[in-house]
Amino acid sequence: MIDLGYDAAHMLGAVVLLMSFALLYQRRLFSLLRVFTLQALALTATAAWQAFSHGEPHLYITALLTLSLKAIVMPVALHRIIVKMNIHRTIEPALSIGLTMVAGVSLVTLSILLVLPVTADATALTRENLALSLSVVLLGLLMMISRRNAVSQVVGFMSIENGLILAAVGVAGMPLVVEMSIAFSVMVAFIIFGIFLFHIRERFDTLDMQKIESFRGESD
Amino acid sequence: MSPIYVIVATPLLSAAILALVPGYRLAARLNIAFSAVTLLAALVLFRTGPAGNALFVVDAFNIYLIALTAFVGLTTSIFSASYIGHEVAAGKLTPRDLRFYHAMYQAFMFTMLLALSANNLGVMWVAVEGATLTTVLMVSLYRTAASIEAAWKYFILCGVGIALALFGTILMYLAAQPVMGPGMAAMTWTELMKHVARVNADILNLAFVFLLIGYGTKVGLAPLHAWLPDAHAEGPTPISAVLSGLLLNVALYAVLRFKMLLAANGEAIAPGPLMIAMGLASLLLAGLMLYRRRDIKRFFAYSSIEHMGIITFAFGMGGPLANFAGLLHMAMHSLTKSAIFYAVGHVAQAKGTQRLEKITGLTVSHPVLGWGLLVGVVAIAGLPPFGIFMSEFLLITSTFAREPLLAIPLTLGILLAFGALVLRVQQLCFGEPGGESAPVRGSLVPLYAHLGLVLVAGVWLPGPLVAWFQTVAALLG
């Protein structure tokens, strides 16, 4: 028998992961934002599907928050920052597609090897969701390490948070407080990032963190 | 009504009120008054003893940390009042910045006290996240290139740390949920402690690794310490004092709560070796880095990394003696290091620089301040008769008795840092005073109050405190 609930949830989780792969090799900031928006949409669908198939109505709120903040507000705001600062032509050194695949696949393998053996008691859906979300978190970390532009680092940070929400919606009965707080923190984080992006621009005329880091107060 | 509500609600309300007060002199006084109310409530709590409900938990472990946090919060607010007056006069801060600063100061105290007293894993996580946000905003207060870079680094590193800690928290819930059923109970400390023995140990292990790395970033453990010196050096000095004195402790408190769960489970891995390794790495790295510092606030920030390394090592060793030493060291380090930052704040303002080589002969040019700094450095270096000597002595002897091989790098690290501190303090406090030198206006009471407490604790510890430390030391495993 085909378990539609399980298959759909599994597929949506995989789409979120796929978008994390795609984020890694985007060289232009606008395409980076587009891929991020797609990831947020996939996450919204995952949360909504879990809410529907498990009968947990509070997950609809999570889905709604994800949709409004991550798929609409943040991409639009970052888009405006990019236009305002006139950095949309920037071509960033990102990892090549081949290298991305090698690094990405090894990180995914790592998280599957890490999660599956220890969660033998949990349901199949929870286990796989957890493995997928850990992969998204690790890929987000890889992205934050490999990028130099402040906007890309912000996008990397938000994709890590996407991974966390994916994990939280996959675990049955996780209290709402936590999800609300995630959404809240994302919002505040965004405000801070916004402030910083402007201030950084004001002070340095660049968003290239490599150049900014030489300003440290102590020159060794 | 339990005083814990007053302790948590006061800073929250004060933050809202201070955001509306336009004059910075009035705001600074109100800041002191509100902090005093919080401390009073904490002292009442100290008298009434452990209590708890579904929202808050007050046990032998966090009760002294709550009192310590409220106390350092008050003394720092007194120091801050004289510090910011000078910064306004020097034109570094505008009254508008200060309105923001005071509101954020109380918001920060709120998150600290909430993280310490929350009975819920999720609430504690939110509080630690809130603490990160408020301190990031305060580190960037001066809006200089260096401070914005420091705040950015702080936010990126600790943001990732916080994210990993949340993943660990989710795993913890996943582990507890099959045993305790879905819902709030599986995220409540007191409930978890009752049922954790039946929880799947494998998921617990995995969760702890994420939590240790996540919250460990905020503790400033190597190799995740890179944010700490920058954040200490570029923000206002009162913030350096509360970062070192309070925030690092609270992050470590979170790690230790989870360690308690693992200890109570019985089948989970012993988290000791992980913590010992991270602790020793921080201690040795910071010990070496101390020699190459040129900025006085960075110098003492590295000393904080060193001491957090020692404390993490102590809890990693485990056992009644080492845990006792760790708990004592947490309190002593927090008091001594914030005292040193009070002194450093006045020194940097009087000398107009933070560069170490330009600050000399303080005992000649500013006797009261100079001797205070000297006594603080002597205490932090671990010389008797101060409290840090007690805890380090306990730790080293118990380590030699149980694991002599581990005692060698521990002693080496402490001696390395000791050498660097003695070398620097000689140059700072003695010799010919050089460079510009303005008189210090401002209260030195917080500085000497802290040093006095550290001295008393080195000679005599009150009975109930010892009893609490022993209870917690047993629970920590």
A76 in B contact zone (CB under 8 Å): no
Q: Residue A219: pLDDT above 50?
A: no
Structure tokens at B373: 């700094």
Look at chain A and report how many structural domains it folds into: 1
B209 to chain A, any CB pair closer than 8 A? The answer is no
pLDDT at A104: 85
Q: Is residue A219 part of a domain?
A: no
Residues 6+ apart with CB under 8 A from B468: B60, B61, B63, B64
B93 in Cβ contact with B104 (< 8 Å): no
Q: Write out the two tokens for B142.
A: 């001066």
Based on its alpha-carbon atoms, the radius of gyration of chain A, rounded to whole angstroms, reads 18
As a whole number of angstroms, the distance between CA B41 and CA B46 comes to 9
Q: Does B441 touch chain A (CB under 8 A)?
A: no
| Under 8 Å between Cβ of B258 and B172 | yes
Q: What is the pLDDT of residue A115?
A: 84
Upper half-sphere CA count for residue B151 (Cβ side, 13 Å): 28
Is A200 near chain B, with CB under 8 Å?
Answer: yes
Give the residue among B429, B303, B184 at the shortest CA–CA distance from A175: B184
- Answer yes or no: is A196 within a domain: yes
| Residue range B281-316, pLDDT digits in tens | 999 999 999 998 889 999 999 999 999 999 999 999
B143, B151, B206: residue with CB nearest A114: B206
Cα B382 to Cα B307: distance, rounded to the nearest angstrom? 10
Q: How far is CA B252 from CA B74, B214, B255, B346, in A?
A: 22, 11, 5, 29
Domains in chain B: how many in total? Answer: 1
Q: Does A218 touch chain B (CB under 8 A)?
A: yes
In this predicted model, what pLDDT tens digit does every residue of A68-103 receive, in sequence order? Answer: 888 888 888 888 878 877 777 777 776 677 887 888
| Bigger pLDDT: A124 vs A215 | A124
Which residue range is the domain that position B405 belongs to?
Answer: 270-477
Is A74 a member of any domain? yes
Residue A84, C-beta contacts closer than 8 angstroms, at least 6 positions apart: none
Q: Which residues in chain A touch residue B202, judged by CB atoms under 8 angstroms apart?
A: 117-120
Q: A214 in a domain, yes or no? A: no
CA geometry: angle at B286 spanning B283 and B288, to 5°?
A: 110
pLDDT of residue B378: 93
Any domain includes B312:
yes
In a domain, B18, yes or no: no
The token duo for B399 is: 């380590």
Are residues A209 and A150 in contact, defined by beta-carbon separation less than 8 angstroms?
Answer: yes
B133–A216 CB contact, under 8 Å: no
Left (φ > 0), alpha (ψ -120 to 50) or beta: where does B266 sit? Answer: left
From chain B, the residues in CB contact with A114 under 8 A are 206
For residues B295 and B230, is the Cβ–Cβ distance under 8 A? Answer: no
- Decide if pLDDT at A61 tops 60: yes
In terms of Cβ atoms closer than 10 Å to its own Cβ (0-12, 13-18, 19+), residue B404 is exposed
Strand partners, B295: B355
Does residue B441 lie in a domain region? Answer: yes
Give the SS3 label for residue B223: coil
Q: Is the bond leading into B385 cis (omega within 30 degrees of zero)? A: yes
Q: B163–A217: do the CB atoms touch at under 8 Å?
A: no
Q: Is the peptide bond preceding residue B320 cis, with omega within 30 degrees of 0?
A: no
* Phi, psi dihedral angles at A73 (to 5 degrees): -60, -50
Q: Which of A143, A144, A142, A148 is nearest to A208 (CA)?
A: A148
Higher pLDDT, B407 or A6: B407
First-last CA distance in chain A: 66
Alpha-carbon gap, residue B5 to B152, rounded angstroms: 34
* Chain-chain contact of A172 with B182 (C-beta, under 8 angstroms): yes
Do B173 and B167 meet the contact criterion of CB atoms below 8 Å apart? no
Helix, strand, coil percent content, chain A, rounded in steps of 5: 80, 0, 20
Q: What is the secondary structure of B24-93 as a DSSP string?
A: HHHHHHHHHHHHHHHHHHHHHHHHH--EE-SSBEE-HHHHHHHHHHHHHHHHHHHHHHHHHHHHHHTTSS
- Asked whether residue B375 is assigned to any structural domain, the reply reads yes
- Phi first, then psi: what are they for A186, rounded to 5°? -60, -40
Q: CB of B428 within 8 A of CB of B373?
A: yes
- The answer, for B353 touching chain A at a CB cutoff of 8 Å, is no
Domain membership of residue A82 (yes or no) is yes
pLDDT value of residue A201 = 63
Mean pLDDT along residues A131-147:
88
Dist CA A108 CA A110 (whole Å): 5
Answer whether residue A216 is part of any domain.
no
Judged against a pLDDT cut of 50, whether residue A220 lies above it is answered with no
Determine the pLDDT at residue A214.
Answer: 54
* CA distance from start to end of chain B: 33
Specify if A12 maps to a domain: yes
Residue B310 has a pLDDT of: 95
- Helix/strand/coil for A125: helix
Show the tokens assigned to B254. 């979170």
| B:274-313 residues touching chain A, CB 8 A cutoff | 292-295, 298
DSSP single-letter state for residue B132:
H
> Residue B412: is it exposed, middle or buried by C-beta count within 10 angstroms (0-12/13-18/19+)?
middle
A2 vs chain B: nearest CA distance in angstroms? Answer: 26
Query: Which stretches within B90-120 are classed as H helix?
Result: 95-117
- Structural contact between residues A171 and B166, judged by C-beta atoms closer than 8 angstroms: no
pLDDT of A136 above 90: yes
Q: What string of H, E and C letters represents the secondary structure of chain A?
A: CCCHHHHHHHHHHHHHHHHHHHHHCCCEHHHHHHHHHHHHHHHHHHHHHHHHHHCCCHHHHHHHHHHHHHHHHHHHHHHHHHHHHCCCCCECCCCCHHHHHHHHHHHHHHHHHHHHHHCCCCCHHHHHHHHHHHHHHHHHHHHHHHCCEHHHHHHHHHHHHHHHHHHHHHCCCCCHHHHHHHHHHHHHHHHHHHHHHHHHHHHHCCCEHHHHHHHCCCCC
**B472 within some domain:** yes
Closest CA to B263 of B323, B219, B214, B184: B323
Output the pLDDT for position A202: 63
Contacts of B118 by beta carbon, 8 Å cutoff, 6+ apart: B55, B56, B57, B124, B127
- By C-alpha distance, the chain B residue nearest A200 is B148
The sign of the CA dihedral B12, B56, B214, A117 is: negative
Instruction: Provide the residue type at B26 as one letter.
Output: L
Q: Which domain holds residue A119?
A: 4-208
Instruction: Kindly report, residue by residue over B101-132, the tens digit of the pLDDT.
Output: 999 999 999 999 999 999 988 889 888 988 88
DSSP-based three-state secondary structure for B172: helix
What does the mean pLDDT of chain A come to? 78
Select from B149, B161, B162 the least CA-distant residue to A196. B149
B315: contact with A, CB 8 A cutoff: no
* CA–centroid distance for A100 within its chain: 16
Residue B275 is assigned to a structural domain of this protein = yes
- Is residue A123 less than 8 Å (CB to CB) from chain B? no
Q: Is the pLDDT of residue A213 over 60?
A: no
In a domain, B475, yes or no: yes
- CB-CB under 8 Å, A117 with B202: yes
Q: Token pair of B332, please? A: 């002593």
* Contact state of B182 with A153 under an 8 Å Cβ cutoff: no
Is residue A141 situated within a structural domain? yes
Distance CA B10, CA A129 (A): 41
Q: Which residues of chain B have pLDDT under 70?
A: 1
The reported pLDDT for the residue numbered B11 is 93
More confident residue, A1 or B90: B90
Residue B190 lies in a domain: no
Per DSSP, the three-state class of B266 is coil
Q: Is A153 on the interface with B (CB under 8 A)?
A: yes
Name the 3-class secondary structure at B120. strand
CB B341 within 8 A of CB B318: no
